[in-house]
Amino acid sequence: MEAAEAVVKDANSFGCTSCGAELKYSPGSTQLKCEYCGAVNDIPVLPADIEELDFNAYLEDSSKQEEQIQIHAVKCDACGATSSIDPKIESSFCPYCSTPLIQSNAHEEKMIRPKSLLPFKLDQGQAKNKFRSWVNKLWFAPGDLMKAVLNFDHFKGVYLPYWTYDSATRTDYIGQRGEHYYVNESYTATENGKPVMKTRSVRRTRWHNVSGLVNHNFDDVLVCSSTSVPGEYVHKLEPWDLKNLVSFDDKYLSGFITEKYSIDLKEGFVRAKSIMDDEIRVLIHRDIGGDEQRVMSMNTSHSNITFKHILLPAYISAYRFKGKLYRFLVNARTGEVQGERPWSVGKIVLAVLGGIAALMLIYFLMSN
Ligand SMILES: [Zn+2]
Ligand SMILES: [Zn+2]
């Protein structure tokens, strides 16, 4: 539906239902007097969310009842990541921050047994090639950093921990639908030094208070439960081909590092809810229709909540260079590369100068 793509209005403003003026309102207030036409606008308020406690208790209970597995793990003192290590290897580095890990700190660590995982599809050689071409193509990086990064000392296959949530949501909302109309307005223009009266068509918006209900079943809302890798890069590794998830089996883990979740089931659901809220907001706009929509308040209840702990495969490389940490991730299913991109001032200046020279050349050729 076309209308859903229409203008999204700031929910802290309210369109006067009498004259259409933009009025500021503070959430929670129930009445607002229009400072332009004097009309008193009633602002309906939804009751506060009371479902919250129920599903928190449910998630708390569930996480205790889930089957556990043990991994031989060590916690990194520098970044706090808890990841599995191979007891046979004498020394290793934290895959997230490249700090040396202390073997004597290793212990058996319990975690919720993953339901399923995506196996590694790219082997290390293929992932290195993806990474190499990304580095060569996209970077304005200092040359010696590129050399360091491409020696692949700290390039590891890691299973990143995720939660996925399903939920049937029901959202009551209160908002406004704006409909455009046009009025003729007269104005004075100057023509040949003389003032003349003219008219023009001006767009106005008529606001209606609306309320409604949207239902949506969410399936596999994905939340990364690692805090060791920057959220924005993890997010950009998506999409994952979740339809190819296979049942968890120890045998998939050998040769790779497994990170234990550091965001628990409850905290993960808080994040999942905010992802769901964004989608619900779009559904509400569609439901309101008209030319513009405002959502003043929404109240969502969740039912049939289910969750899964899953592992998704990535290659990670972390480098310390001149005191700064650079981290890169390769999606081991799709080959998507994401990471922190350092800039070399010298190379940027050269590129800019090159661009200016090219423009001058074009200008020169066209003006002759
Ligand atoms: Zn008004
Ligand atoms: Zn670390």
The span from the CA of 130 to the CA of 122, in Å, is 10
Is-cis flag, bond preceding 100, omega within 30?
no
- Cα 20 to the center of its chain, rounded Å: 35
Instruction: Give the Å distance between the CA of 336 and the centre of ligand 1.
Output: 52
Q: pLDDT at position 297, please?
A: 86
Instruction: Give the Å distance between the CA of 266 and the centre of ligand 1.
Output: 45
Instruction: Give the Å distance between the CA of 37 and the centre of ligand 1.
Output: 4
- Whole-structure pTM value: 0.78
How is 322-339 classified by DSSP, letter by letter? TTEEEEEEEETTT--EEE
Q: Which ligand is nearest to the CA of 207?
A: 1
The span from the CA of 158 to the CA of 83, in Å, is 9
DSSP state of 63: H
Instruction: Give the Å distance between the CA of 160 and the centre of ligand 2.
Output: 14
Q: Which ligand is nearest to the CA of 22?
A: 1
Strands 194-224 and 155-191: antiparallel
Helix (H, G, I), strand (E, B) or coil at 338: strand
Domain boundaries defined on the chain:
2-363
Instruction: Give the Å distance between the CA of 318 and the centre of ligand 2.
Output: 9
Q: Which residues contact 314 (CB under 8 A, 6 or more apart)?
A: 157, 158, 160, 237, 329, 330, 331, 332
Q: Which ligand is nearest to the CA of 16?
A: 1
Instruction: Give the Å distance between the CA of 14 and the centre of ligand 1.
Output: 10
Q: Which two tokens stand for residue 68?
A: 């556990």
Q: pLDDT at position 183, please?
A: 94
The span from the CA of 84 to the CA of 81, in Å, is 10
Contact (Cβ atoms closer than 8 angstroms) between residue 102 and residue 74: yes
- Which class for 142: exposed (0-12), middle (13-18), buried (19 or more C-beta within 10 A)? middle
Stretch (H or E) spanning 124: helix 124-138
Contact (Cβ atoms closer than 8 angstroms) between residue 228 and residue 81: yes
Q: pLDDT at position 293, please?
A: 95
Across the 368 residues of the chain, what is the mean pLDDT of every consecutive 10-residue run?
Answer: 40 85 79 89 70 70 86 88 78 84 86 93 93 77 74 86 94 94 93 91 94 95 90 89 92 90 92 95 96 91 91 90 84 91 63 76 76
Instruction: Give the Å distance between the CA of 31 and the centre of ligand 1.
Output: 13
Q: Which ligand is nearest to the CA of 36?
A: 1
Q: Which ligand is nearest to the CA of 33?
A: 1
Instruction: Give the Å distance between the CA of 34 and the centre of ligand 1.
Output: 5
Q: pLDDT at position 2, please?
A: 29
Instruction: Give the Å distance between the CA of 75 and the centre of ligand 2.
Output: 8
Contact (Cβ atoms closer than 8 angstroms) between residue 179 and residue 208: yes
Task: Report how far apart, in Å, the C-alpha atoms of 166 and of each of 217, 260, 302 are.
Answer: 7, 22, 10
Instruction: Give the Å distance between the CA of 153 and the centre of ligand 2.
Output: 16
The span from the CA of 337 to the CA of 332, in Å, is 9
Strands 246-247 and 31-33: unpaired
**Chain length of the chain:** 368
Instruction: Give the Å distance between the CA of 25 and the centre of ligand 1.
Output: 13
Q: pLDDT at position 347, please?
A: 62
